[in-house]
Amino acid sequence: MAKRIQFSSHGGPDVLEYRDYQPAAPGPHEVRVQNQAIGLNFIDTYFRSGLYPPPALPSGLGNEGAGIVEAVGAQVSQFQVGDRVAYATGPLGAYSELHVLPASKLVKLPDAISFEQAAAVMLKGLTVQYLLRQVFPLKGGETILFHAAAGGVGSFACQWAKALGVRLIGTVGSAEKAARAMAQGAWATIDYSHEDVVQRVLELTDGHKCPVVYDGVGKDTWEISLDCVAPRGLLVSFGNASGAVTGVNLGILAQKGSLFVTRPTVAGYADTPERLQMMADELFGMIESGQLKVDISNRYALKDAAAAQAALSARQTTGSTILLP
């Protein structure tokens, strides 16, 4: 028997239960991981709330963690018992002491990266990797807009953009978060609590706007983001922190300058074991070189996952939060 967080109905953090369960034996192509640290991400709240329905209820929760291989399936050759590994692309169930998942979802974890670092960085770091290096491959010299720049993903984006020689304008909700984003490497910040985002982008770019805007907020910032994209530029809508973007009129893209829009995911880019490991290797290299620093601002016991999610949803967290079994 082991412990895990599960939910039997959709709702707020109070639906999360800390329960005993019997972990399955790994199938032929699966691995069972003894988690040492677990990542907390906004997408977890989407599954809990029902925005992203899980395969079935009751359901486990969480996609990200790091630990030690405890058992391997008969057809698994790339991992052995005792290997240090990390994962970030599911299946659900990472909020647990033991997690069974396909070997294709695992990456090998270098000795230089701790379990806590890996759990704090995998999903957010892989997100930044595909956003800045694949969706719109930044060359250096660009001026970009990134919403929620002081959050978990935003903090890594600030650092990575600076390492690439990119001027990142970050939106934030307070003076404290503005200072945090600047300390992480943002070129400029816009405090939307009292500043007009579109007007400030025009001022900061001498009226040219940005060739790419990264928006993980969703509904509340959709139109603002469109107004910050330069003609023939790209809006990357990669999250729904304020709710899903719905009812989109494609004609608005023509009106605002023949714009492009994409709605990518980590899984859509880390779609083979080889590509996933390549992305992780670049991420780990950024950490080992010191260009990307992992700030773990909060640590919660696994049993306190509901409190951790409540703090995340209330935007009371900065940097990364992890759960410890």
* CATH code of the domain covering residue 192: 3.40.50.720
Q: What is the pLDDT of residues 155-178, one digit of tens each?
A: 999 999 999 999 999 999 999 999
Residue 318 and residue 216 in one domain: no
Domain that holds residue 175: 140-263
Residue 175 and residue 254 in one domain: yes
Query: Using CA atoms, how far apart are residues 238 and 193, in angstroms rounded to an integer?
Result: 22
What's the predicted TM-score (pTM) here?
Answer: 0.91
Residue 176 and residue 230 in one domain: yes
Asked whether residue 270 is assigned to any structural domain, the reply reads no
Q: What percent of the chain has pLDDT over 90?
A: 89
Given this model, what pLDDT does residue 248 score? 87
Average confidence (pLDDT) over 103-121: 97
Q: What is the pLDDT of residues 275-297, one digit of tens each?
A: 999 999 999 999 999 999 998 98
Residue 114 and residue 227 in one domain: no
Question: Of 225, 129, 124, 253, which is closest to residue 169 (Cα–Cα)?
Answer: 225
Query: Two tokens at 301?
Result: 């016991």
Residue 57 and residue 166 in one domain: no
Asked whether residue 290 is assigned to any structural domain, the reply reads no
Residue 232 and residue 313 in one domain: no
Asked whether residue 284 is assigned to any structural domain, the reply reads no
By CB atoms closer than 10 A (0-12, 13-18, 19+), residue 246 is exposed
Asked whether residue 80 is assigned to any structural domain, the reply reads yes
Residue 195 and residue 257 in one domain: yes
Q: What element of type H or E holds 162?
A: helix 152-164
Query: Using CA atoms, how far apart are residues 43 and 63, in angstroms rounded to an integer?
Result: 9
Asked whether residue 191 is assigned to any structural domain, the reply reads yes
- Residue 107 sits in a domain whose CATH number is 3.90.180.10
Residue 14 has φ and ψ, to the nearest 5°, of -65, -15
